[in-house]
Amino acid sequence: MRLNWGMVGGGEGSQIGPAHRLGAQADGLFTLAAAALDADAAKGRAYAERLGVAPDRAYGDWREMLERERGRDDRVQLVTIATPNATHFEITKAFLEAGFHVLCEKPMTMSVEEGEEIVRVARASGRVCAVNYCYSAYPMVREMRAMVARGDLGRIRLVVTHFSHGHHADAANADNPRVRWRYDPAMAGISGQFADCGIHALHMASFILGDEVAKLSADFAATIESRVLEDDAMVNFRMGRGTVGRLWSSSVAIGRQHGFDIQVFGETGGMRWASEQPNQVFWTPLGGRTQIMEKGEAGLSEAAARLSRVPIAHPEGFPLAVANIYVDLASAIRGGAQDGLPQAKDGLRSVAAVAAAVESARASGAWTDARPPMFR
């Protein structure tokens, strides 16, 4: 039986909205039953109806949706929140308190305090509060995590990760509102490129290693004059168990399209994954040759195998990584097992790391505690 699902935000023209709809529907696990898709109520209602939502559940705003849905027997069981960043806190909190399961886009909140509040509310609610760090749901990323967990690499010495692109490199286009907001503290908050992309890479390091980022040192630069917030960031870090970390993130790297990759080096092996070729891992055992691991090959861990739909070398891409988040959500909502779903505590850790990086960058790279106070 399908679960009823609702969306807040992600309306027409949104980039992430289609990925959520595809992700929720691809495996037939969720039906889009209610939605408040747009700040423009009429536009949002009309689009929801075009997407097949019944007219009485095509809402004008999230408050209306929350009020009406909470009273229904067939209320949506999961709400996806894909609104502007500054609103995530309020909406997530409200839906959790009303007893809905929530999948929130990143960043979960704009401040560490808000992040800690969401963690507390989620705990109290007994509901799932997930955050969409969807890259972690690629089968081969799950495989890397399983490899680390079972000790294939021994102690992890080093993790090196990049998330760089060049889509904001055109100075002549820097005042375009779709680009500009990202570097304007009034709209983006305290961080630009690092909070936008780099944080995915930092989450991935924690995810694969099963370890937390303990402290960090950041070097931020705004390479286009009109920008206040950084468009290029380098973050050195140390993890709880001592692993050395290196993270570079940029939005002025012309020629990089979606340059998100990660390399993990341990005592007995190293491995590499890249988001533009997400179905492969290059794995090198100490003293041996590099091997190309393929999604769907025989002998992968259950954690990876269960998230793949088509045979080896039939590529599965980004929308199905999002779908894998929904696979885990469906299981979690039904009280079943899930393994790897990013949750409120992960969202909080990311928010705290961004705050620490900003503080460090302002202090010429001083090493700064990256943990949220409630987890120190």
| Site for its own copies, residues 166 to 185, rule: CB under 8 A | 166, 169-171
Residue carrying structure tokens 């929350």: 66
Cα–Cα distance for residue pair 135/133, rounded to 1 Å: 6
Is 317 a binder of its own copies (CB under 8 A)?
yes
Is 89 within 8 Å of 114 (Cβ atoms)? yes
Tell me how crowded residue 75 is: count the other CB atoms within 10 A of its CB: 19
Indicate the residue among 99 and 311 with the shorter CB distance to its own copies.
311
256 binds its own copies (CB under 8 A): yes
Binding mask 276-295 for its own copies (x = CB under 8 A): xxxx--xxxxxx-xxxxxx-
By the rule CB under 8 A, 314 interacts with its own copies: yes
Distance separating alpha carbons of residues 210 and 34, to the nearest angstrom: 36
| Residue 217 CB coordination number (10 Å) | 20
* Cis, peptide link before residue 107, omega less than 30° from 0: yes
Contact string 62-101 vs its own copies (x = CB under 8 A): ----------------------------------------
Instruction: Report the alpha-carbon distance of residue 281 to residue 143 in Å, rounded.
Output: 9
Specify the 3-state DSSP secondary structure of 281: strand
Nearer to its own copies, 25 or 92 (CB): 25
Closest approach of its own copies to the CB of residue 130, in Å: 20
Among the candidate windows 68-76, 185-193, 260-268, 332-340, which touches its own copies by CB under 8 A? 260-268
Answer for which of 114, 196, 316, 346 binds its own copies (CB under 8 A) is: 316
Residues of span 357-376 touching its own copies by CB under 8 A: 364-367
Looking at residues 29 to 58 of the shown chain, list those that interact with its own copies (rule: CB under 8 A): 32, 51-52
2 contacts its own copies (rule: CB under 8 A): yes
- Residues between 109 and 168 with contacts to its own copies, criterion CB under 8 A: 157-158, 160, 165-166
CA atoms within 13 A on the CB side of 304: 26
Q: Which two tokens stand for residue 365?
A: 């790279």
Which H or E element spans position 339?
none
